[in-house]
Amino acid sequence: MRKSDLDELADELAEFAPSEKATGRPASDERVIAGFEEIQRFVEKHGRPPQHGEDRDIFERLYAVRLDRLRALPDCRALLEPLDHQRLLSGAAVVAEPGAAYNVDQLAAELAGAPEAEDITVLRHVRTSADKRAAEEIADRKPCEDFETFRPLFERAATEIKTGLRQSQPITAGNRSIEAGDFFVLDGVTVYVADVGDPLKTTAREVDRRLRLIFANGTESNLLLRSLQRAFYNDPAARRLVSPETGQLSFGGELEADDVESGTIYVLRSDSDHPYVAQHRDLIHKIGVTGGNVEARIAHAENEATYLLAKVEVVATYKLAGINRTRMENLFHRLFAPVRLDITIQDRFGRPVQPEEWFLVPLFVIDEAVARIRDGSITGYIYDPKAAQLVKA
């Protein structure tokens, strides 16, 4: 093939893209690659190669002509084949319909009158050389054949987010670690790290690893670890879904130096002389969460209907760190909702009140519930009032 053919195509593409800074390739090669990447983005969006035809969008017709030229020029094929993950160059050239023997110049003239003509002089989303190198490291997503194996993990994570057991946290510059079993949200899709491969040496003499990532939409990919970290940087909305297993949640005992105490789970027993309460005093407990001092909170219990207008005894407390207090309280209330105390008392003004947060549940069951919150297994259990124990859901 004559070098002039390659130069001619590069000149045509130059009408649609500004020249880039030197990146190690001739400017003509960079423009050919940029033009090919536009075609690739069309295929990603529409799921098919661009086609000829008067009924086609003017941009699609432009891409179809360009793709035919790239397929026909051996030098272009040699340049683009390493980037051709969609195998566009191996397809047979589509022959234009009769009467549609137009070229790039003709299409450019038509585009001059199009509403977006002022934008056609700039290639949108043309990646830098660093982006292109990163793209070569990343494999396309494909359907996950064993997704049913992972579906329960996504369902559990979703439940834990709703209950507050798992938290969504921003990914900071100092916390982009990635381990097997981690959950993230990237580009609005939940991602599960199923596997972290063996160390790989890169051209930059850095150690990288190949990941197996499962996406909540049923696809998977084998991105490199550093590529995923770059994706976090490029997506300000990316989040890490933190679970109890990560050590971010803390209950009972001494808090670690870097833990931030956010509250206390407290369990109370009432001294009320209400007949039903007196009869079942050892089973009736109030479960709450406070960010302040428990003793201060209950100092005037005998004057408040929420404490059954009686003094209360603190029978258990559990320190918690790094979680949402309100969601944690709601988790307990949903778990023990079947045995919520159903009584009506009169407040000090004679008005009927139905106190909440009181439950007919043994203290040892509450202890077990806290332990299961700590190890992350609570979402697989419900409370069985007849057996007075937690059972698998």
pLDDT exceeds cutoff 50 at 258: no
Instruction: Supply the pLDDT for residue 62.
Output: 80
Q: In this predicted structure, which of 70-79, 157-166, 204-213, 250-259 has the lowest mean pLDDT?
A: 250-259
Mean pLDDT calculated for residue range 214-225? 90
CA of residue 188 relative to chain centroid, distance = 6
Output the six-digit token pair for 242. 């933190």
Q: Residue 157: which pLDDT band, with cuts at 50, 70 and 90?
A: confident
165 vs 95, higher pLDDT: 165
C-alpha distances (whole Å) from 216 to each of 186, 236, 330 are 11, 20, 26
Task: Look at residue 251 and give its three-state secondary structure.
Answer: strand
Residue 21's SS3 state is: coil
pLDDT at 70 over 80: yes
CA–CA distance, 148 with 145 (Å, rounded to integer): 8
Q: What is the pLDDT of residue 93?
A: 41
Percent of the chain with pLDDT over 70: 72
The DSSP bridge pattern shows strands 284-290 and 358-360 to be: antiparallel
Expressed in percent and rounded to 5, the helix, strand and coil fractions of the chain are 40, 20, 40
Q: Which of 6-15, 60-69, 150-159 has the lowest mean pLDDT?
A: 6-15
Given this model, what pLDDT does residue 268 score? 94
HSE, side-chain direction, 13 A CA sphere, residue 177: 7
CA distance 364 to 380: 18
Collapse the DSSP code of 211 into the 3-class scheme (helix H, G, I; strand E, B; otherwise coil) and give the result: strand
Q: How far apart are CA 363 and CA 388, in angstroms?
A: 11
